[in-house]
Amino acid sequence: MYVKLFFNGIGHVYGDENTVFLFLQEEKGMQFLSVPTDVETINSIKKYVAAGEKNKDTLPAVMWKLLMQNDDRLLQIKIDSIENGMCKCSLFDMFSRHTYELQPSDAVLLSIISRMPIYIEHSLFIANSIVPMEDNAKMVLPISQMNDTLLRKALDKAVESENYEQASKLQEELNRRKQKKQ
């Protein structure tokens, strides 16, 4: 079973403007998935979203129209896995059964341009999804969604604030990832 995700917005880690995320929302709007990306990509997507109808003559929009006009292919944008805080995405051609790997930020941009959802297996979504806090202004990232750099920053903050239980969990995750790489 798959969950359909749609672009919802952009966010960053409090106090770190360079650690940015694209947020994808499931259809019911109760849970989110964060996609880590870079500031340059965020700025490009912001420009694309803000321009609205003016985007119809941009290269990505024109290429999408051209592809859909001249081909009856059915395409799906998918998140295939999430490892070490990074999504592995693809564009699946249901006609040829061929899969094309995509950068996660490009998958989100293609979803915005094409108005197609991004599909993710239900179990993968549940394991990595975020539920907003009561005020909807904050979200807590699951450890699985944090890249190594973010994990190290969180570990430093946990030690600094003497939250040793949290520090232990973060260190265990870093060690698990290190062992997996070997």
SS3 call for 168: helix
State the pLDDT confidence band at 70, using cuts at 50, 70 and 90.
low
Phi/psi at 3 (5° precision): -110, 135
Structure tokens belonging to residue 61: 């929009």
Q: Does residue 45 have a pLDDT over 80?
A: yes
Query: How much is the pLDDT for 76?
Result: 92
CA distances (Å), 66 to each of 56, 57, 102, 106, in order? Answer: 12, 12, 19, 18
Distance CA 107, CA 88 (A): 10
Give 96-144 pLDDT, tens digit per residue. 899 999 999 889 988 988 888 999 999 999 988 887 766 555 556 667 6
Q: What percent of the chain has pLDDT over 90?
A: 24
Q: Which amino acid is at 176?
A: R
